Amino acid sequence: MTLYMNLAELLGTRIEQGLYRPGDRLPSVRALSQEHGVSLSTVQQAYRQLEDDGLVEPRPKSGYFVPQARQRPALPMVSRAAQRPVEVSQWDQVLELISTPPGGELVQLGRGIPDIGAPTLKPLLRSLSRLSRRQGIRELSYGSVLGDPGLREQVSRLVLDSGCQIPPEDIVITTGCHEALSTAIRAVCEPGDIVAVDSPSFHGVMQALKGFGMKALELPTDPVSGISLEALELALEQWPIKAIQLTPSCNNPLGYIMPEANKRALLTLAQRYDVAIIEDDIYGELAYKYPRPRTIKSFDEDGRVLLCSSFSKTLAPGLRIGWIAPGRYLQRVLHMKYMSTGMSAQLPQLALAEFIAGGHYEPHLRRMRSQYARGRELMTDWVSQYFPPGTRASQPQGGFMLWVELEAGFDSQRLNRQLLPHKVQIAPGSIFSAAGKYRNCLRMNFATPQAAGIEQAVRRVGESIAELQAEQG
């Protein structure tokens, strides 16, 4: 971590601990420079970082201040899941969400699409374009079923940041995180098996469980600390669970980061009951705070964690490049990967390897983290402002999704139908549950909050909610 980041984190912690209060003036640049023995420009950089994170605000000629406390909506309730294995439903609603390609008139607040317009992506596009012209055997022919060796080397380097030491030969490149997750599930489970999941949970995984004839056991999940370890232990006691599937870092859709102690405790439970862990880390690198959180995989000593990720959220989903570090299940995963797609597209793998090796990945991530942190502030403000009183919302620690909880009995599928003529779409909460719970919830994307029409779309969502609530009386 550089000097300015250290200082920014120190000041940030002091603000969050209440040492400086809303409205307080913060120490001057000169005073901090002397106190910490760093240059004036280092202090200025630290303040800019804190400003980006929404923790301080500059006032012309007066210095930096702690902003007035924002009106934050209350957190969602801890989910009360069914606590018995169920067959997954909701395919029709998922299909509705994913059938419309982006780029039309519809404002798709519901989809998990990152900002793909950042200038820091340019070097990747240049590599893609240059490699496309080559007509070489590496670009156009079959590669290894494991994926491009150069890209696996880069992934092996990247995972060091999450505390993992994984050699390139234990990494398999996949067609997006989808393929990583579905090969993981198939490598570990048979039809009829039970998989424990956090709840609400990513619909792609649940639809895979449905497709493979497996059952999901949804566990109560806290919007700050994640899956309930008590409930998990009870479930492991009660049911023949084969695997735990969860997204512990920058969870989708809730945005929490599971505390490190909980991650360790979960691994211990998995060891005691001898079950596999399928860890989805697709948003992990988009944690607003640096350094990024550790993965459960980083504590794993007996290879029971299958770590799944991709570049779909950090770079661009259209590349369809993900990866899996399957631990002891490598051979099974290779077989599943071969039968599902044979191998993944070559060009994006080669271009990505160049992009990362060329040092372009970290600057892009830094930019995106700040942008999404600001997006969270904006979206939270809009929900406070435009949504009916009593609306609850998540406080994401990373990524670009907000989870909104409305009063019991609200129907977010009806909301989507209401929004259709206004060309706005949200993700209804029910697709994040195997059993179709969370009908009173919805998920919204804040990756590009300053794009034209986004604020207006969110406002429209708020108004439609109010209309529907008024109808219900």
Of residues 202-231, those binding its own copies (CB under 8 A): 204, 207-208, 210-213
Question: For 23, how many CA atoms within 13 A lie in the half-sphere containing its CB?
Answer: 0
How many residues bind its own copies (CB under 8 A)? The answer is 72
Of residues 1 and 95, the one with the C-beta less far from its own copies: 95
**CA atoms of 284 and 281, how far apart (whole Å):** 5
Residue from 22, 30, 34, 102 binding its own copies (CB under 8 A): 102
452 in contact with its own copies (CB under 8 A): no
Task: Please identify, among the stretches 69-77, 94-102, 359-367, 378-386, the one whose residues bind its own copies according to the rule CB under 8 A.
Answer: 94-102
Copy the structure tokens of residue 179.
Answer: 């393929």
Decide: is 264 part of the binding site for its own copies (CB under 8 A): no
CA distances (Å), origin 377, targets 151, 395, 425: 35, 9, 21
CA separation for the pair 115, 112 (Å, rounded): 10
- Please state the closest distance from residue 338 (CB atom) to its own copies, in A: 6
Supply the minimum distance, in Å, between the C-beta of residue 417 and its own copies: 20
Show Cβ contacts of residue 295 under 8 Å, excluding neighbours closer than 6 positions.
Answer: 159, 162, 163, 164, 248, 249, 263, 279, 281, 284, 305, 307
One-letter identity of residue 14: R
Q: Fill in the DSSP letter of residue 423.
A: T
Which is nearer to its own copies, 50 or 321 (by Cβ)? 321
In terms of CB distance, is 249 or 344 closer to its own copies?
344
Site for its own copies in 179-198 (CB under 8 A): 179, 182, 186, 190-191
CA distance 306 to 329: 8
Give the residue among 80, 359, 62 at the shortest CA–CA distance from 221: 80
Q: Which is nearer to its own copies, 152 or 292 (CB)?
A: 152
Quote the least distance from Cβ 262 to its own copies, whole Å.
29
Least distance CB 432 / its own copies (angstroms) = 15
Using CB under 8 A as the binding rule, whether residue 375 contacts its own copies is answered as no
Tell me which of 152, 178, 215, 294 binds its own copies, using CB under 8 A: 178
- Distance of closest approach, residue 137 Cβ to its own copies, in angstroms: 4
Identity (one letter) of the amino acid at 186? R
Bridge partners of 57, per DSSP, are 65
Whichever of 56 and 325 has its CB closer to its own copies, that residue is 325
By the rule CB under 8 A, 357 interacts with its own copies: no
CB of 342 to its own copies, least distance (A): 4
Do the beta carbons of residue 189 and residue 332 sit within 8 Å?
no
- Residue 93 or 298: which CB sits closer to its own copies? 93
Query: Should residue 201 be labelled a site residue for its own copies when binding is judged by CB under 8 A?
Result: no
Span of 34-42, 79-87, 106-114, 386-394 interacting with its own copies by CB under 8 A: 106-114
Task: Choose, by CB under 8 A, the member of 98, 224, 265, 378 that binds its own copies.
Answer: 98
User: Which span sits near its own copies by CB under 8 A: 27-35, 72-80, 177-185, 223-231?
Assistant: 177-185
CB of 180 closer than 8 Å to CB of 308: yes
Q: Which residue number, 84 or 134, has a Cβ lying nearer to its own copies? A: 134
Signed CA dihedral, 418, 447, 354, 160: sign only: negative
**Residue 287 interacts with its own copies (CB under 8 A)?**
no
Quote the least distance from Cβ 129 to its own copies, whole Å. 4
Q: Tell me: does residue 152 bind its own copies (CB under 8 A).
A: no
Q: Looking at the DSSP assignment, which residues form a beta bridge with residue 63?
A: 59
**3-state SS, residue 27:** coil
User: In the window 122-151, what residues touch its own copies (CB under 8 A)?
Assistant: 122, 125-126, 128-130, 132-146, 148-149
Residue from the set 15, 26, 121, 250 that interacts with its own copies by CB under 8 A? 121
Is 25 or 130 the residue whose CB approaches its own copies more closely?
130
30 belongs to the binding site for its own copies (CB under 8 A): no
Give me the phi and psi of 107, to 5 degrees please.
-85, 105
The string of DSSP letters for 47-106 reads: HHHHHHTTS-EEETTTEEEPPPPP-PPPPPPPP----S-B----HHHHHHHHHSPTTSSS
CB of 178 to its own copies, least distance (A): 4
Where does 100-228 have alpha helices with state H? 122-132, 137-140, 149-158, 176-188, 203-211
CB of 144 to its own copies, least distance (A): 5
Backbone phi and psi for residue 172, each to the nearest 5 degrees, phi listed first: -120, 125
> Smallest distance from the beta carbon of 242 to its own copies, in angstroms?
15
Residue 157 has a CB neighbour count (10 Å cut-off) of: 14
Using CB under 8 A, pick the residue from 99, 237, 301, 359 that binds its own copies. Answer: 99
- With binding defined as CB under 8 A, does residue 167 bind its own copies? no
Residues 307-346 touching its own copies, rule: CB under 8 A, are 316-320, 334-336, 338-346
CB of 152 to its own copies, least distance (A): 12
Nearest Cα neighbor of 369 from 97, 173, 161 is: 161
Residue 403 phi/psi, 5-degree rounding, is -105, 125
